[in-house]
Amino acid sequence: MAIAAQPQMPRVWRAESKPHKFCPGCGHGIVLKALGEAVDALGIQERTIFGCDIGCSLLSWDFFNLDTIQTHHGRTTPVLVGIKRARPELVVVSYMGDGGAYAIGAQHLVSSASRNDLVTIIVVNNTVYAMTGGQMAPTTLPGQKTETTPYGRDVELTGRPMLGPELVAAIAPPGAYVARGSVANVVQLKNYIQKGLENQIQGRGIAFIEALSSCPTNWRTNAAETWRFLEKEMSAYFPVGELRTPEEKPAARLREVPAHGPKP
């Protein structure tokens, strides 16, 4: 497969594993393209470690010419945090789905955010558990039908959609970078991811980027309906934009505090 034949392919893409394994119309490929371009732009291919979760993200285990580890469902962030603590010169990327990040891996997200771990986390929000066939995810919209909410998501019984970036933005110490992008705006998404990688490289703190994404297979939608749901319904519930930048003045209660402790 000649690389020249595919001019938009980021340099860090691995030609041998293309065409990729995602379904037609899937957002995962677009998010990975944005990540690839950001890695290219920063020239960090040699020292970037890519970690993918179990979810449709697992299909990216051979996607890049990057050293890559496929971990367990929900456990990608701790594996990469472990690497980062042992080899701080590396740049670590934790790539996962909304189920991996906000359900089974929520404890790791909360802890890494509070520790301000130097890791760049990218979460693909497609409102479902895609890999397992379309069950409810923490991000499933109210009323949305899934395999485990066959009569529509009832917020009285199952709660409301999780707002991941808002959660991380609320608990992370100063220096964190938090944003929500969308596959509907790849340039902006790439920009967010690049800022997230820089945040880690500069040692400021955690970087967390959620990407609104499409799953036509489990939504059972055609192209037009896929885009309508993504652009109208998802972006209305999950506002796109930057939630925390390292430059901003953190809220008073989040400011660094002197050491405390009882003095016996």
Ligand X SMILES: Cc1ncc(C[n+]2csc(CCOP(=O)(O)OP(=O)(O)O)c2C)c(N)n1
Closest-CA residue to 127 (of 106, 107, 102): 102
Alpha carbons 27 and 130: distance in angstroms, whole number: 12
Q: What angle do CA 80, 234, 73 make, to 5 degrees?
A: 25
Binding stretches for another protein (CB under 8 A): 21, 23, 54, 58-59, 70, 72-74, 99, 103-104, 106, 129, 131-133, 135-136, 138, 147-151, 157-158, 217
Alpha carbons 198 and 29: distance in angstroms, whole number: 22
SS3 at position 8: coil
DSSP category for residue 26: -
Residues 21-40: x/- map of binding to ligand SF4 (CB under 6 A)?
Answer: -xx--x-x------------
- 200 vs 214, beta carbon nearer ligand SF4: 214
Encode 107-125: b = buried (16+ Cβ within 10 Å), e = exposed: ebbeebbeebbbbbbbbbb
Supply the minimum distance, in Å, between the C-beta of residue 23 and ligand SF4. 3
- 106 vs 201, beta carbon nearer another protein: 106
The stretch among 107-115, 186-194, 200-208, 210-218 that binds ligand SF4 (CB under 6 A) is: 210-218
By CB under 5 A, name the one of 77, 94, 126, 144 that touches Mg ion.
126
SS3 at position 201: helix
Is 161 one of the binding residues for ligand X (CB under 6 A)?
no
Is 60 one of the binding residues for ligand SF4 (CB under 6 A)?
no
Alpha carbons 12 and 3: distance in angstroms, whole number: 11
**Partner from Mg ion, ligand X, another protein, none binding residue 50, C-beta < 5-8 Å depending on class:** none
Alpha carbons 234 and 216: distance in angstroms, whole number: 14
Supply the minimum distance, in Å, between the C-beta of residue 27 and another protein. 15
Tokens of 4: 């020249």
By CB under 6 A, name the one of 76, 120, 218, 226 that touches ligand SF4.
218
Question: What does the binding site for ligand X look like in residue numbers (CB under 6 A)?
Answer: 54-57, 73, 96-100, 124, 126, 128-132, 137
Q: Which residues bind Mg ion (CB under 5 A)?
A: 97-98, 126, 130, 137
